[in-house]
């Protein structure tokens, strides 16, 4: 949800995640392990096409919210250090080199493929 305000500026995105935040009972999932992660699983697939070339990336794992926090913290650390100085509001994908950014993260419950 860290990019829920900026992703729709350049991608079609379902509003289901945002709607969940406005639900009458926005309670969080129940923790099932010692790290506080839920049993929920997620899969994000990105397909980029340009000039007849297609590239695909997939990220999957457990408890998407446990993955979101490291993303937000890494972005904040980089911005405070002066990196990603794109003017105005920009998604993490537009602000930083994707491979470098994702390589800096190492959550054991995330698989990049």
The HSE-up count of residue 54 (CA atoms within 13 Å, CB side) is 4
pTM value is 0.52
The pLDDT value given to residue 15:
59
Structure confidence by residue, pLDDT tens digits, 32-45: 888 777 887 888 88
Model confidence pLDDT, tens digit, residues 42-56: 888 888 899 999 998
* E strand or H helix that includes residue 59: strand 53-62
In the chain, domain spans: 7-112
Which residues is 42 bridged to in the sheet?
61
pLDDT band at 11 (very low <50, low <70, confident <90, very high): low
Residue 65 CB-density burial (10 A; 0-12 exposed, 13-18 middle, 19+ buried)? middle
- What's the burial of 88, exposed, middle or buried (CB within 10 Å: 0-12/13-18/19+)? exposed
């Amino acid at each position: 949800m860290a990019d829920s305000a900026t992703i729709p500026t350049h991608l079609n995105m379902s509003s289901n995640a945002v709607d969940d935040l406005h639900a009458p009972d926005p309670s969080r999932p129940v923790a099932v392990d010692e790290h506080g992660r839920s049993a929920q699983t997620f899969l994000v697939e990105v397909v980029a096409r340009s000039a007849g070339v297609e590239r695909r990336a997939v990220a999957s794992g457990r408890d998407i919210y446990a993955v979101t926090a490291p993303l937000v913290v890494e972005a904040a650390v980089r911005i405070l250090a002066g990196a990603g100085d794109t003017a105005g509001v920009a998604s993490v994908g537009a602000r930083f080199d994707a491979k470098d950014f994702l390589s800096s993260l190492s959550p054991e419950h995330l698989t990049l493929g």
